Structure 1
Amino acid sequence: MDREQMIRIVRENMPERRWKHTLGVMETSVILARLYGEDENRAETAAILHDVCKFWPVEKQAETVRESGTDTDVLDFDKELWHAHAGAWIAAKQFGVEDEEVLNAIRYHTSGREDMSKLEKIVCLADYIEPSRDFPGVDAIRKLAETSLEQALIAGFDSTISFLLAKGKRIYPLTVLTRNRLIRELEV
């Protein structure tokens, strides 16, 4: 499927405010890819599809995650994580994406994972810092993104974990493992 078809289908299946977010993630992913020497087209493809399932009913998201057979433990945690895993499956099955790194960038854009590729880091970070995001600390994370994907992602995960702790929510263990791995990467 070509880029324009992908964009048309994704845009038709989300509200305008989420499409604005997707455009921001696309733009930010391309900027970060250029800055960090990653393929801009791959980054943009992952960004286009990263929220493809975001507005599906949660039952359909859960069914898709179970069908994928990948990281089904995510279903024991916050529903906000499910769309990413469902989206990777749909990207492969309905949009014909075969690039495993692109699929992983979609699958792990909310939680991260240990041993993230540069492309996965870029899409995850772009989702945090795209221009329409407005939360305490986002400008500091944007500034960190100019010099270090890892430092910016750690700050993003710290923000997410702090938010979840303040709300008394469970934290997906993969997010903690990701944060720890990023810190280890910086220590080497």
Structure 2
Amino acid sequence: MRYTRNELLDIVSAQMPARRWTHVEGVIETSVRLAHRYGADPIKADLAALLHDLAKFWPVERQEAVVREQGLNPELLDYDKQLLHAEVAAFVAEQEYGIDDPEVLDAVRYHTSGRVGMTLLDKIVCLADYIEPGRNFPGVEHIRELAEHNLEQALLAGFDSTISFLIEKGKIIFPLTLLARNDLVRQLDREGK
């Protein structure tokens, strides 16, 4: 890592409005709390949460250019532009900030879409992004309650909420999110939960 945590705080917070930085702080706090609760590395959770939205407020054209020019997942270009920032953030974290931990980079990369075979850290950062204290949407309290007892059930409820919202709005759904949701259902079925 080329930067200290404090330097990264300054670098990342400078790239977004104050209200989004408040969100990032909430995701950091929630990720660390969930890491302690579920046995993940809280230092990795802190770092992934800190970096997860670093490209969120870049112009869409800049995000698309990074995806194209750096050979990142081209499928993202065909879906909601909100998906781009996660892939771009992981790339920038590695290339510009020297983050070399693949687990941290994947947690950043998949915090919006999820994926099949999500790691514990992936699940924690993704869920923390849904339920951080500043989030206020129908059903968030239920997801927060689930998060106290079962990480996978809470994340499944989060994916279900997102998918329902997208269907209600007539939007297309990124296939990886559906696959991630189905994978969680299978995992919970195997565990009898």
The count of aligned residue pairs is 188
Unaligned runs of 5+ in 1: none
- The 3-state SS of whatever aligns with 2:61 is helix
Q: TM-score, normalised by structure 2?
A: 0.96
Offset of residue 67 of structure 1: 3.3
3-state secondary structure, aligned to 2:135: coil
Matched, 1:17 2:3: no
Structure 2 counterpart of 1:41, from 43, 50, 53 = 43
Counterpart position of 1:54: 56
Q: Is the 8 A contact 1:65 1:89 kept in 2?
A: no
State the shift of 1:63 in Å: 1.2
Cα distance in 2 for residues equivalent to 1:118 and 1:72: 26
- The answer to whether 1:94 aligns with 2:96 is yes
Moved over 4 A (4+): none
Gaps in structure 2 of 5+ consecutive residues: none
Alpha-carbon distance between aligned partners in 2 of 1:67 and 1:102, rounded to the nearest angstrom: 23
The match for 1:143 among 145, 157, 161 is 145
TM-score, reference length from structure 1: 0.98
Corresponding letter in the other structure for 2:33: I
Per-residue CA deviations over 1:113-161 (Å, capped at 9, x if unaligned) read 0000000000000000000000000000000011111101110000000
Q: Using the alignment, how far apart are the partners of 1:14 and 1:107 within structure 2?
A: 18
Q: How far does the alpha carbon of each residue in 1:60-83 deviate from its partner, in whole angstroms, 9 at most, with x for none?
A: 111112234232201110001100
Cα distance in 2 for residues equivalent to 1:133 and 1:21: 8
Structure 2: how far apart are the matches of 1:140 and 1:66?
A: 39
